Homo-oligomer: A and B are copies of this chain.
Amino acid sequence: MTEIVETSAALLPGPPAFELDIVDDTPEVVIDLQRVRRNIDRAAATAAEHGVALRPHVKTHKLPPVAALQIEAGAAGIQVAKLGEAEVFAAAGFTDIFVGYPIVGSRKIGRLLELLGTTSSRISVAADAVDVAVPLAEAAARAGVIVPVVIEVDTGLHRLGAQPGRATVELASRLSDLEGIEVTGVFTHEGHVYTQAHSMDEKRAMTHAACAALVETADLVRASGVPLTTVSVGSSGTFRFAVECANISEVRPGTYVFNDLSQLHQGAATPDDLAAFVVATVVGRPEATRAVIDAGSKVLTSDRLLIADPAPTYGAVAGFPGARVSRLSEEHGVLEFPVAADLRIGDRVAIVPNHICPVVNLADSVSVIAEGMLAERWAVAARGRVK
């Protein structure tokens, strides 16, 4: 087991496998389709090898063509972040969609029922509290439908989720008595492993502990008389450990399709697995070791790395070892280089963002590179679907 890498300087993302002038204008999110396919195929093979279903979280890409590649490679279905994303992916023909979010409020419940009435897709949703489930169940019962519900269990992230063990058993029992919904499983997002585990051994152990808490809880729920089929864990950073867990039915990584600086720091990807970049133009060269690019927080987001990060890093500069995006304004990114950089105003650079998911969410479309050529531009169909 290696220790996780603590500085971006050591990760050295090399130059991307395409020419930067291939895109018409900047800042532009560029997808390397060959690497995307490789990432998809590798994760599919890993899941298959371990006998668990793979349900990719498509919030990373928000692109139906990428989800299609994931399904083609054997994914059992997809997860989306919000109901608005489900609407987009159902309209695009995806037949098994899990909304990993509680459907709260009459407007959202109405939209879910409307979606169920107009699609043949199976749409399941999350719930972690009676106050979430009851209004949904009542409305579904009135509409004469049964909504599949997966109970979220909090295995350590302390965001949403019922507590493992007795609390979840009681909740499952209450929910299974309601008309209009059917409890079909339990799920967790073990995102706490990103920040709380500091070595690969700790990451593995903490992921396995999250799996164990979920599996034990599922067993208790079943023993109480509520049958469950889905026992699902998920995050890209823990994917390689989660597949090792016994009695898990499903894993739900998302970022693995593109990867980013955070996944490199998690040890979950190598520089060769980076499949999405932001191509930007140098607009200022105030010093030999400093450059300003036309991509700021409105392109790269202000997301920080989820590791100890004494000097702020908002991205790496592909092909410039040790360089980092040190400061962001809305429209300006300041690059710091360890040595004088051979870059002039008008030159382009490829930035590896800290966190690719919200970066894609800021783009109306992305450029797709296949075999070194600009193949297509894809509209980010589910961009901004936060409702």
Chain A contact residues, CB within 8 Å of chain B: 24-28, 59, 81-82, 101-102, 104-105, 107-108, 111, 128-129, 131-132, 135, 154, 158-160, 191, 281-286, 292, 294-299, 301-304, 327, 329-332, 334, 344-346, 357-358, 361-364, 384, 386-387
The smallest beta-carbon distance between A278 and chain B, in angstroms, is: 10
User: Which one of B128, B158, B302, B334 lies within 8 Å of A303 (CB-CB)?
Assistant: B302
Q: What residue in chain B is nearest A298 (Cβ atoms)?
A: B386
User: Which one of B160, B329, B357 lies within 8 Å of A330 (CB-CB)?
Assistant: B357
Q: Bound complex: CA of A296 vs CA of B358, how far in Å?
A: 11
8 more contacts with CB within 8 A, not counting A25-B111, A27-B387, A298-B361, are A101-B283, A104-B345, A129-B284, A129-B345, A131-B344, A294-B386, A330-B361, A362-B386
Question: Nearest 3 pairs between A and B by C-beta?
Answer: A131-B345, A302-B302, A25-B107
Q: What residue in chain B is nearest A107 (Cβ atoms)?
A: B25
Complex interface: chain B residues within 8 A of A59 (CB): 330-331
Q: Does B107 contact A24, Cβ atoms closer than 8 Å? A: yes
Q: Does A159 contact B104, Cβ atoms closer than 8 Å? A: no
The smallest beta-carbon distance between A64 and chain B, in angstroms, is: 19
Name, among A285, A298, A301, A362, the residue most crowded by chain B CB atoms within 10 Å (CB to CB). A298
Q: Bound complex: CA of A81 vs CA of B330, how far in Å?
A: 9
Complex interface: chain B residues within 8 A of A27 (CB): 386-387
Q: What residue in chain B is nearest A189 (Cβ atoms)?
A: B329
The smallest beta-carbon distance between A297 and chain B, in angstroms, is: 6
The smallest beta-carbon distance between A310 and chain B, in angstroms, is: 16
Q: Does B283 contact A132, Cβ atoms closer than 8 Å? A: yes
Q: Does A358 contact B159, Cβ atoms closer than 8 Å? A: no
Q: Does B284 contact A160, Cβ atoms closer than 8 Å? A: yes
Complex interface: chain B residues within 8 A of A104 (CB): 281-283, 294, 345-346
Q: Bound complex: CA of A132 vs CA of B102, how far in Å?
A: 50
Q: Bound complex: CA of A132 vs CA of B107, how far in Å?
A: 51
Identify 21 residue pairs between A and B in the complex whose beta-carbon atoms are under 8 Å apart, listed by A's number. A25-B108, A25-B387, A26-B387, A27-B387, A59-B330, A59-B331, A81-B330, A101-B294, A102-B345, A104-B294, A105-B281, A128-B284, A129-B284, A131-B346, A160-B292, A297-B303, A297-B358, A298-B384, A298-B386, A302-B303, A362-B384
Name, among A82, A284, A327, the residue most crowded by chain B CB atoms within 10 Å (CB to CB). A284
The smallest beta-carbon distance between A99 and chain B, in angstroms, is: 11
Q: Does A160 contact B105, Cβ atoms closer than 8 Å? A: no
Q: What residue in chain B is nearest A154 (Cβ atoms)?
A: B286
Q: What residue in chain B is nearest A24 (Cβ atoms)?
A: B107
Complex interface: chain B residues within 8 A of A301 (CB): 297, 301-302
Q: A27-B387, A129-B284, A297-B358 are in contact. Are A101 and B331 (CB under 8 A)?
A: yes
Q: Does B331 contact A82, Cβ atoms closer than 8 Å? A: yes
Q: Bound complex: CA of A168 vs CA of B339, how far in Å?
A: 27
Complex interface: chain B residues within 8 A of A131 (CB): 285, 344-346
Q: Does A386 contact B331, Cβ atoms closer than 8 Å? A: yes
Complex interface: chain B residues within 8 A of A25 (CB): 105, 107-108, 111, 387
Q: Does B332 contact A160, Cβ atoms closer than 8 Å? A: yes
Q: Does B105 contact A159, Cβ atoms closer than 8 Å? A: no
Complex interface: chain B residues within 8 A of A334 (CB): 159
Complex interface: chain B residues within 8 A of A283 (CB): 101-102, 104, 132, 160
